[in-house]
Amino acid sequence: MASHIGFPTALFYYSHYPFWLAFFNRLGIEVVTSPKTTKAILDDGSREAVADACIPIKLYHGHVLTLKDKVDAIFIPRMVKINRRTTFCPKFLGLPDMVRASLPHLPPIIDLQVDASRGLLGFWPTCRGLADLLGRTRREAWSAYLEGRHHHHAYQKLLQAGYLPLQAMAKLRGETVDAPARTPGSLNLAVLGYPYQVYDQYISLDIIGKLKKLQVNIWTMEMINPARLYRLSGRLPKRLFWHYSNLVLGAAYYYLRQENIDGIIHVTAFGCGPDAMVDKIMELDIRKFSRGQIPFMSVSIDEQTGDAGITTRLEAFIDMLHQKRRGNR
Ligand code: SF4
């Protein structure tokens, strides 16, 4: 029976890890996470994953490899739906198969499906299946599920209060974390994108850290209630099919309505099919709905993206926003 389960710190880690950590812990199982992304982890993932995969998927492979000899099993659920309406991108749907095919000699992969489209209890069917697999009773599974939900709600509350995901997780662990602070008079920038791109410091080239050094107040998609984001994505003539894509566009529409927002940055992954659409729709709709008043910048990330290039682009964008503010006075 597995007593150490591996959880790669990539993809849905930033959205759902607190739930799964609490769930497994309540069942007496230790969760082992992969370390922070490094060049070696990304290089290993890029070498082993299928060549045309997007960078977050390649990175996920690298994180799985770091867990290979440390755990009894690796948790790679097949993420299909976490609500009744939208579906995860095909790469999430095929993730356990892709990993199995590309990385031989792994410990067993726990690949139960997450499909919350048919019931009101979200992850419960998956939790029930996990309990069967791990030799736990339904009663134990239900109690662990409730524990997971409790942690997930606490996590969401922290995110919506302005904590970034890693800070919110640290706070849930009981660590001391500075409360989110905004500097009055500073520029306000919405930094939007899939959480596994925006918050992985290595592949995002620490865009958030760089902007903070430039004294900018950061606003992200996770700071808004997901149900509200989904409602806002109804501004599209037809909602997109993919889960995270609707949330990102919903966040763009939300921040467009906020008077304090000076600009919007979209962090996008090279090789991401859904993002090819999201990025263009975002650019056109920001221009249309703000009547050209909110500047927009798209930052595409791949393995070759250079730190200096990103820094220069961010600095130029911030300079332009300062000039625009001065011009509006
Ligand atoms: S949405 Fe895009 S970046 Fe995310 S896994 Fe799918 S293809 Fe990759």
- pLDDT tens digits for range 196-239: 999 999 999 999 999 999 999 999 999 999 989 989 988 888 88
* Predicted pLDDT at 120: 60
pLDDT band at 85 (very low <50, low <70, confident <90, very high): confident
Residues 6+ apart with CB under 8 A from 116: 81, 82, 83, 84, 122, 123, 125
Q: Are strands 4-7 and 30-33 parallel, antiparallel or unpaired?
A: parallel
Centre of ligand 1 to C-alpha 324, Å, is 34
Centre of ligand 1 to C-alpha 213, Å, is 29
Higher pLDDT, 37 or 85: 37
Residues 6+ apart with CB under 8 A from 193: 221, 248, 266, 267, 268
* Predicted pLDDT at 304: 72
* Predicted pLDDT at 119: 64
Centre of ligand 1 to C-alpha 86, Å, is 14
Centre of ligand 1 to C-alpha 252, Å, is 18
pLDDT in tens, 43-77: 999 999 998 899 999 999 999 999 999 999 999 99
Q: d(Cα 3, Cα 30) in Å, to the nearest integer? A: 6
Pocket test for ligand 1, best of 15, 87, 91 (most atoms within 8 A of CB): 91
Pocket test for ligand 1, best of 275, 300, 301, 303 (most atoms within 8 A of CB): 275
* Predicted pLDDT at 1: 60
Residue ranges around ligand 1 (CB below 6 Å) = 54, 56-57, 89, 91-92, 194, 244, 269, 272-275
Q: d(Cα 289, Cα 176) in Å, to the nearest integer? A: 41
Which numbered atom of ligand 1 lies nearest the CA of 269?
A: 3
Which numbered atom of ligand 1 lies nearest the CA of 242?
A: 1
Centre of ligand 1 to C-alpha 275, Å, is 7
* Predicted pLDDT at 234: 86
Give the residue, by CA position, lying nearest to ligand 1 atom 3: 272
Q: d(Cα 89, Cα 244) in Å, to the nearest integer? A: 8
Q: d(Cα 106, Cα 86) in Å, to the nearest integer? A: 31
Which numbered atom of ligand 1 lies nearest the CA of 244?
A: 1
Name the token pair of 250: 């919903």
Centre of ligand 1 to C-alpha 240, Å, is 14
Which numbered atom of ligand 1 lies nearest the CA of 197?
A: 3
Centre of ligand 1 to C-alpha 62, Å, is 16
Which numbered atom of ligand 1 lies nearest the CA of 90?
A: 6
| Average pLDDT of span 14-22 | 97
Which numbered atom of ligand 1 lies nearest the CA of 271?
A: 7
When computed from its CA atoms, the radius of gyration of the chain, rounded to whole angstroms, is: 20
pLDDT in tens, 246-268: 999 999 999 999 999 999 999 99
User: 3-class SS at 4?
Assistant: strand
* Predicted pLDDT at 327: 80
pLDDT in tens, 126-138: 999 999 999 999 9
* Predicted pLDDT at 122: 82
For residue 247, count other CB atoms closer than 10 A to its CB: 24
Would you list the DSSP string of 94-130? THHHHHHHHS-SPPPEE--EEETTS-SSTTHHHHHHH
* Predicted pLDDT at 329: 66
* Predicted pLDDT at 309: 87
Give the residue, by CA position, lying nearest to ligand 1 atom 6: 89
Prediction pTM value: 0.94
- Token look-up 């849930």 returns 172
Centre of ligand 1 to C-alpha 271, Å, is 8
Give the residue, by CA position, lying nearest to ligand 1 atom 7: 272
* Predicted pLDDT at 303: 76
* Predicted pLDDT at 153: 96
Percent of the chain exceeding pLDDT 70 equals 98
Mean pLDDT, the chain, rounded, equals: 93
pLDDT in tens, 118-163: 666 789 999 999 999 999 999 999 999 999 999 999 999 999 999 9
Which numbered atom of ligand 1 lies nearest the CA of 194?
A: 4
Residue 72, CA distances (Å) to 7, 140, 176, 188, 299 in order: 11, 21, 32, 45, 38
Centre of ligand 1 to C-alpha 181, Å, is 31
Structural domains for the chain: 4-171 (no CATH), 182-328 (3.40.50.11900)
* Predicted pLDDT at 128: 94
pLDDT band at 117 (very low <50, low <70, confident <90, very high): confident
Centre of ligand 1 to C-alpha 281, Å, is 17
Higher pLDDT, 191 or 329: 191
